[in-house]
Amino acid sequence: MLDISERTKSLGTENAFVVLKEVNELVSQGKNVVNFCIGQPDFDTPEYIKQAAIKAIREGKTGYTASPGIPELREAVAKYFSKSRKINVKPDSVVVSNGGKPFIGYTVLSVTDYGKGDEVLYPNPGFPIYESQIVANGATPVPLPLLESKGYRFDLEYLKSKVNKKTRLLILNSPHNPTGAVLDGKTLKAIADIVMEYDNLWVFSDEVYCKMEHDADFESIATVPGMQERTVIVDSASKTYAMTGWRIGYASNEKLAPHLAKWVTNTDSCASHPNQYAVVAALNGPQDDSNRMMLSFKKRRDIIVDGLNKIEGIKCLSPGGAFYAWPNVTKACQLVGAKDSEEFRKRLLYETGVAVLSDIHFGHRNKGEGEHIRFSYATSEENIREGLRRIEQYIKANKKK
């Protein structure tokens, strides 16, 4: 009998796309849905970036490139990383890929060995592809609980207790998906102190939301003295320039760069040739459009957090970055008789036309944390207000006596 490998059968997924399929099916049936489930800016890619891609196509820049990326983009990324992270990044340490996501797997593959018990620490809740790539590539996943009582930041003592000689990689994500939490300089320094006690411990720093710090300047763990050499810095054009479908991400680490590039060769050969020129224009060109987007996300953050906290049964911490809100809906579930956040999510979608994700889409629930759902507020202010109105009305109409 023809069968599928156990590795493939157990492979995790990104449930935002699963729920998006549900949303699209409802929309195709004529249902009006306010969609908070997908982390995608509702802005168009700036025109000057589009024109750079068109120019590249017209000039015949449509073939293979070197696997690490075109020299112009590696140079632009190096300058961008150097300025924004306040470190010296060389172009040779930069690798380009089809989005930032592939670097998760590439890094796990580059620093762990299959089936030997190498451990990778990752945030929980967190981007689901972290855990799925750790497992698929034969390493041991070790979740680090992010607790509401700590503002969804690491408990440093817990982190310290979990690091050992088998630990090969620590995954950080700041600003964080799904909670919007931000790791400040003091916390990053404390994490670095723990990491540097071990000679063979790498850090994967997922910084794709770095331009979306709402209340402070972005800080990277790579800036901490001694950390750049062991940190894989990862960023992408997707969120900053509304280029999610262009699929261009970039990573930097001097020692790992040639190995990451070899993984690119083994998988995608190279990133899209004309799209790389578009990102050169994005990084080197005017930042006015991008800055306006970032200011809009901050305004939307304030609207959605204020609105959620006015709804009975919901409480929401204000996220410091990204474009996600992570409200606690434990009491809301009790009010309407939903057994958990996933049932509550389904009810909101099918009974009110509001699409969100539940906490189980981002790992397992941490003990004692209750029920949470995720909103992506990368949508219009009008949609945010309408979605909040529907949720408030639903809870009022369905409260158990």
Which tokens sit at 3? Answer: 């069968």
Report, as an integer, the average pLDDT of 149-178.
96
Distances (CA, A) of 398 to 29, 70, 327, 358, 370: 25, 57, 19, 20, 20
pLDDT above 70: percentage of residues in the chain: 100
Q: State yes or no: pLDDT of 130 exceeds 90.
A: yes
User: Among 305, 284, 269, 291, which Cα is nearest to 377's?
Assistant: 305
- Confidence band (pLDDT; 50, 70, 90) for 401? low
Q: What is the pLDDT of residue 18?
A: 77
Task: Return the closest-CA partner of residue 344 out of 313, 336, 366.
Answer: 336
Residue 367 above 80 pLDDT? yes
Query: In order of start, what are the domains of the chain with their CATH numbers?
Result: 6-44+289-396 (3.90.1150.10), 47-284 (3.40.640.10)
Q: Would you say 323 and 297 are in contact if contact means Cβ atoms under 8 Å apart? A: yes
Q: Is the pLDDT of residue 10 over 80?
A: yes
Q: Give pLDDT, residue 27.
A: 84
Question: Per residue in 273-313, pLDDT tens?
Answer: 999 999 999 999 999 999 999 999 999 999 999 999 999 99
Map residue 224 onto helix, strand or coil.
coil
Angle between helices 257-267 and 102-111 in degrees, nearest 10: 120
Mean pLDDT confidence for 61-81: 98
C-alpha distances (whole Å) from 187 to each of 85, 221, 375 are: 16, 9, 26
Summarize pLDDT for 137-159 with one digit per residue, the tens: 999 999 999 999 999 998 999 99
Q: What average pLDDT does the segment 165-190 reach? A: 97
Alpha helices, H only, 139-220: 156-162, 185-195
| pLDDT tens digit sequence for 341-350 | 999 999 999 9
Of the candidates 106, 113, 369, the one whose C-alpha atom is nearest the C-alpha of residue 257 is 106
DSSP of 325-352: E--B-HHHHHHHT-SSHHHHHHHIIIII
pLDDT value, residue 217:
95
Query: Is a pLDDT exceeding 80 seen at residue 340?
Result: yes
Peptide bond connecting 178 to the previous residue in cis, omega within 30 degrees of 0: yes
What confidence tens digit (pLDDT) does each residue in 179-231 have?
Answer: 999 999 999 999 999 999 999 999 999 999 999 999 999 999 999 999 999 99
More confident residue, 367 or 163: 163
Mean per-residue pLDDT, 39-67 = 97
pLDDT of residue 13: 78
Region of 269 please: left (phi>0), alpha (psi -120 to 50) or beta: left
Q: Which helix (H) or strand (E) holds 171?
A: strand 167-173
Contact predicate 122/130, CB 8 Å: yes
Mean pLDDT, the chain, integer: 96
Contact (Cβ atoms closer than 8 angstroms) between residue 341 and residue 358: yes
Q: How far is CA 183 from CA 43, 330, 353, in A?
A: 27, 26, 34
